[in-house]
Each structure stands twice: as structure tokens, then as C-alpha cells.
């Protein structure tokens, strides 16, 4: 392993390797910042361009893109309430409120530091786990996938503090949306209403663009003024405050990184679940859960650390078995095949230097992307002082173009507009959007794996309790649901003590 790392470092410092890495990082930042594009699109465009160049150089390009995209998506999530990629949707819940309070610089600094350190942690985990990757992946089967999805859905119970009923209504609506289209078990088409576009279900990215970007810009336009509620408080020098906060809340950083690396390694679950689960766990374990959603910097650190760490985790099944851990990894498999590399044990044995080149480039890109964005943080933060009337046409155009660019489909644009209207109504009537997003993403995962589990166990529901890993996940679900109740009892006990004194 050390010899392969040395070879990769030599390739980086020679033959233009650093240039390929830098170009990939810049491309990743651009594709991450523009809503609707993201890693799969960037890598898909990259594949034909790498034909004919050295395999190691192609890995530097791909690694630069994969390492930079997660933080690129957080920039617009923090400044404009517009997640550049789906996992960045978890960042908006505290990143954007910080911006409105004039703390955009601190939020960007925290996201940059958390992304860098999370990315490094994810690659470190990949280095450690690759030798035993096979045993870890084979531990997961439909019962474990179902319990993992349920654990993610339990985030609904803690992300709607004080709005439990409204949160449940939003979650039910999200589940209804998740069940539109093909039933992956029976093959039947459900709730398509004669519209061919709905056969594949509602596309998540256009829906997120509508729920966050379009809904928020409509709300801002009607309110008038600028994004920051207190423009005089916007001080971009507070970037360092955000960086130092990451080290102050090192437990939040470590917890988010671990969740991202573990969830990223589970095929089919992806970074969205990792980011939201990391955010939810942070809320659950906080001594002041009511501060989340109102500009708590831990709400930025947790999902950003998780988002970058999952890159290292998702590479584990991709490289070891050819099983993509995410859509981005599925496209990356095409790049490997183009260069004559077959994922699996032979790749780990015969082409270890290629793997270490990829890992090294992702680690460096996650740091480099943060440095590049922090270098222009002052200019980025000043966007929040611009009158919203000037921002509306720009953000609306970028959002709709992003929705269209995903599949070059006007139907996606229509979906973004419809969900923009839904999102605005949810803002207007104070319905939380987080449960809707989680339910949309996890509904299909939970349904398919539940039905497969029942088929495997011939209808015996105890299959979820007899498998060790599934049982552990079940206990975590119970613990997750119990935390709000325990916190409520502790609050009542504290209030009674204060009343007696």
C-alpha cells in the first residue's frame, strides 16, 4: 500500500498530474454550485474527454470532481437556500438562517473546514476498510436495508420539534410521492394518471430545486429587502469563526464523518440519507435542540462532514465489487471500464496505484475546493446584501436551467415549478419541508426492501429481529424515537425543580 501511495504522489508531482487535479477541482466546484448538475453529470461529461489520456491522469480528474462537488453544493445552500446537490439540502436548515442573521462568512467557514476534514476522514476510512470490505458489504441484505431506511425516516420525529403533527402530514405526503411510478417488485405502474413521465416516479433533484430554491425566492420576493435580515451585521471576516467552530465542536465533526463513511458504503442508500441522518443525530444529542433550524452552526458542520466523508465510503463497494454506492459511483464505473479496469479483487491487487491516485486526489480536492471558495468568501457573502429584486431573475433562471439540464426534459422544469408552489405554501403555513424530503427519498427504499424481506422470510416479520445487524438497527430506531420523549421528561423535571426553588 505504501509503495502504491508513493507512486501516486510521484505521478501527482510529475507529468501534469497536479494540473489535472486542479482542473477537476474547479469543474467539480462549478457543477456543485449550479443546482441540478452535480457529480453524475460532471463525470458523465468527463468520460469521453478522458479517452486517450493516461489512466492515472483520468483518476486525478475524476477525484478532483468528486472531492469538490460536495462543498460546491453547500455554497448556494448557505447563501441562497438552494442546495447545489441533493445531500446539501440538509445544510440549508441552519446554513441559510445563519446567512439571514448576517453570519454567512461563519457558515461558509464552518462548511469549508467540515468538508475538508470530513473528506480526509472518509479517505482514511477507505484505506483502513479496503482489506476487509467484502465481509462488511455482505453483512447487508434486505432486512438490514429496510431497518436502515426506517432509521432514516425516524429523523422525522426529531426534526419537527413543536410541529409534530405538521411534520407527520408532510412525511405522509412525501411517502405518497415516493410511491409514484413503477413498483420495483411487481412491475406495475402506480399513480401515473396516464402521464408517461410519471412511470419513473418524481425526479428528486427537480423536486428539491422547487422546494428550496424556487419556494424561497418567491418568499423573498414577496417579503422584499435583501437575504440578510441585518445587512449591517454581515462581516466576511467571521469566516475564521466558522473554521474555529469546527474544532470546538469536534465531536459533531467526528460523528458526522463516521455516519457519512458508514452510510456511504451501503449501496443504494447514498449521501442524502447520510447528511440528513447526521443532522438528525446531532439534533437528538444536542443540549439545545430548539436552536436548530434557526442558525446553529452545528447544523452546518454535521451534514457537511458527512457529505464529504461518504465519498470514501461509497468507493468501498464500487471498487471492491463493482456495486455502485451512489449514482455518482455508477457513472464512475463507466470511466473505469473505458480505461480497461474491472472492479473487483483483481483491481485491488493489480492496480492498487490507480486506486491510491484516486483516493489521494479526492483528499486533496476536498481541501483545495474549500481553500478556493474561502479565498472568495468575501465576494460570496456580499451576495446576501443585494436587493432581492435583482436576485430573483438570476436564481430563478439558474434553478430552472439546472432542473432542465438533469435530463434535458421540460417535464423536470414543470416538476420544479409545481414543487416550488408546494414549498412556498409550506413556508407560508409553517409546515417543515425536511420530513417531506426524507420520506420522498426513503419511501421506495423502505418499501422494496420490506417486501423482499417478507418474501425471503415467507411472511415471518421476526426476520428483522433474528439477524444481528438488523436487530442492532432496530434498537437504534427505538433509541432514536425515545430521545425526544426522554428530553421532554428531563425538561419537565428541571422546570418543576426551578418552580420549587
**pLDDT at residue number 3:** 64
pLDDT digits (tens, 9 = 90+) for 433-449: 767 877 787 787 788 88
Query: Residues of the chain with pLDDT > 90: what percent?
Result: 2
Query: Residues of the chain with pLDDT > 70: what percent?
Result: 78
**pLDDT at residue number 236:** 52
Residues 86 and 326 sit within 8 Å (Cβ to Cβ): no
**pLDDT at residue number 326:** 62
**pLDDT at residue number 250:** 85
Helix axis angle, 17-33 to 2-13, nearest 10°: 90
pLDDT(233) > 50: no
Choose the weakest-confidence range: 26-35, 226-235, 390-399, 487-496: 226-235
pLDDT(413) > 60: yes
C-alpha cell at 333: 464505473
Helices (H) and strands (E) in the chain, counts: 25, 2
Helix axis angle, 55-80 to 352-375, nearest 10°: 30
**In 376-409, which residue ranges form alpha helices assigned H by DSSP?**
377-381, 388-407
C-alpha cell at 30: 462549478
pLDDT band with cut points at 50, 70 and 90 for residue 421: very high
C-alpha cell at 338: 473505458
**pLDDT at residue number 422:** 92
Mean pLDDT calculated for residue range 2-7: 63
pLDDT(300) > 70: yes
Q: Is residue 137 part of a domain?
A: yes
Q: Is residue 28 part of a domain?
A: no
**pLDDT at residue number 41:** 65
Distance CA 351, CA 450 (A): 38
Calculate the average pLDDT of the chain. 76
pLDDT digits (tens, 9 = 90+) for 64-100: 888 888 777 787 788 777 777 777 778 888 888 888 7
C-alpha cell at 82: 438552494
Choose the weakest-confidence range: 16-30, 255-269, 336-350: 336-350
The whole-angstrom distance between residue 433's C-alpha and the CA centroid of its chain comes to 16
Q: Is residue 220 part of a domain?
A: yes
3-state DSSP assignment of residue 50:
coil
**pLDDT at residue number 366:** 80
Domain that holds residue 472: 2-22+33-500
Mean pLDDT calculated for residue range 103-122: 82
pLDDT band with cut points at 50, 70 and 90 for residue 345: low
Choose the weakest-confidence range: 16-20, 249-253, 342-346: 342-346
* CA–CA distances in Å: residue 433 to residues 96, 100, 170: 14, 18, 7
Mean pLDDT calculated for residue range 269-287: 76
What number of residues does the chain have? Answer: 501
CA atoms within 13 A on the CB side of 374: 24
* 287 burial via Cβ count (<10 Å: 0-12, 13-18, 19+): exposed
Distance CA 452, CA 185 (A): 8
- pTM above 0.75? no
Distance CA 85, CA 379 (A): 22
Choose the weakest-confidence range: 43-57, 149-163, 241-255, 388-402: 149-163
- Angle CA 230–232–238, to nearest 5: 95
Higher pLDDT, 127 or 266: 127
Distance CA 394, CA 476 (A): 44
Residues 145 and 392 sit within 8 Å (Cβ to Cβ): no
pLDDT(206) > 70: yes
Higher pLDDT, 493 or 455: 455
DSSP string spanning 191-229? Answer: S-TT-GGGGG---HHHHHIIIIIIHHHHHHHHH-SBSSS
Which of 4-13, 243-252, 397-406 tops mean pLDDT?
243-252
Q: Is residue 271 part of a domain?
A: yes
Choose the weakest-confidence range: 80-89, 264-273, 476-485: 264-273
Q: Is residue 27 part of a domain?
A: no
pLDDT(6) > 50: yes
pLDDT(418) > 90: yes
Domains in the chain, number: 1
Amino acid at each position: 500500500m505504501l509503495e502504491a501511495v508513493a507512486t501516486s504522489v510521484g505521478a501527482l508531482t510529475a507529468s501534469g498530474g497536479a494540473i489535472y487535479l486542479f482542473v477537476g477541482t474547479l469543474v467539480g466546484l462549478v457543477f456543485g454550485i449550479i443546482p441540478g448538475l452535480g457529480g453524475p453529470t460532471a463525470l458523465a461529461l468527463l468520460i469521453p474527454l478522458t479517452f486517450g489520456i493516461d489512466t492515472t491522469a483520468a483518476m486525478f480528474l475524476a477525484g478532483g470532481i468528486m472531492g469538490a462537488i460536495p462543498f460546491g453544493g453547500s455554497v448556494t445552500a448557505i447563501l441562497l437556500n438552494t442546495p447545489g446537490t441533493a445531500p446539501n439540502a440538509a445544510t440549508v436548515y441552519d446554513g441559510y438562517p445563519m446567512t439571514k442573521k448576517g453570519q454567512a462568512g461563519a457558515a461558509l467557514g464552518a462548511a469549508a473546514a467540515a468538508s475538508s476534514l470530513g473528506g480526509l476522514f472518509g479517505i482514511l476510512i477507505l484505506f483502513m476498510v479496503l482489506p476487509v470490505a467484502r465481509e462488511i458489504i455482505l453483512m447487508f441484505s434486505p432486512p438490514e436495508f429496510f431497518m436502515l431506511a426506517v432509521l432514516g425516516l425516524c429523523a422525522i420525529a426529531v426534526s419537527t420539534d413543536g410541529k409534530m403533527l405538521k411534520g407527520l402530514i408532510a412525511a405522509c405526503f412525501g411517502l405518497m410521492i415516493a410511491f409514484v411510478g413503477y413498483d420495483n417488485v411487481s412491475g406495475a405502474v402506480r399513480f401515473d394518471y396516464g402521464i408517461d413521465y410519471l412511470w419513473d416516479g418524481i425526479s428528486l433533484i427537480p423536486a428539491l430545486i422547487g422546494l428550496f430554491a424556487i419556494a424561497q425566492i418567491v418568499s423573498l420576493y414577496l417579503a422584499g429587502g435583501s437575504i440578510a435580515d441585518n445587512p449591517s451585521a454581515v462581516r466576511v471576516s467571521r469566516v475564521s469563526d466558522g473554521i474555529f467552530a469546527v474544532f470546538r465542536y469536534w465531536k459533531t465533526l467526528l460523528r458526522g464523518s463516521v455516519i457519512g463513511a458508514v452510510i456511504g458504503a451501503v449501496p443504494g442508500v447514498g449521501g442524502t440519507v447520510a447528511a440528513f441522518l447526521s443532522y438528525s443525530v446531532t439534533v437528538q444529542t444536542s443540549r439545545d435542540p430548539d436552536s436548530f433550524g434557526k442558525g446553529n452552526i452545528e447544523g452546518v458542520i454535521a451534514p457537511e462532514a458527512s457529505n464529504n466523508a461518504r465519498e470514501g465510503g461509497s468507493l468501498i463497494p464500487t471498487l471492491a465489487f463493482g456495486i455502485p454506492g451512489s449514482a455518482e459511483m455508477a457513472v464512475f464505473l463507466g470511466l473505469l471500464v473505458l480505461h480497461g479496469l474491472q472492479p473487483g479483487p483483481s483491481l485491488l491487487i493489480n492496480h492498487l496505484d490507480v486506486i491510491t491516485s484516486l483516493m489521494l486526489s479526492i483528499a486533496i480536492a476536498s481541501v483545495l475546493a474549500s481553500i478556493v471558495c474561502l479565498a472568495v468568501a468575501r465576494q460570496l457573502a456580499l451576495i446576501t446584501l443585494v436587493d432581492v429584486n435583482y436576485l430573483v431573475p438570476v436564481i430563478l433562471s439558474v434553478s430552472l436551467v439546472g432542473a432542465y439540464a438533469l435530463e434535458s426534459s421540460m417535464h423536470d422544469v414543470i416538476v420544479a415549478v409545481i414543487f416550488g408552489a408546494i414549498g412556498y405554501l409550506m413556508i407560508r403555513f409553517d409546515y417543515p419541508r425536511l420530513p417531506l424530503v426524507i420520506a420522498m427519498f426513503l419511501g421506495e427504499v423502505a418499501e422494496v426492501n420490506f417486501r423482499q424481506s417478507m418474501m425471503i422470510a415467507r411472511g415471518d416479520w421476526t426476520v428483522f429481529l433474528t439477524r444481528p445487524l438488523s436487530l442492532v438497527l432496530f434498537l437504534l430506531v427505538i433509541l432514536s424515537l425515545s430521545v425526544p420523549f426522554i428530553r421532554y421528561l428531563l425538561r419537565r423535571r428541571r422546570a418543576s425543580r426551578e418552580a420549587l426553588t
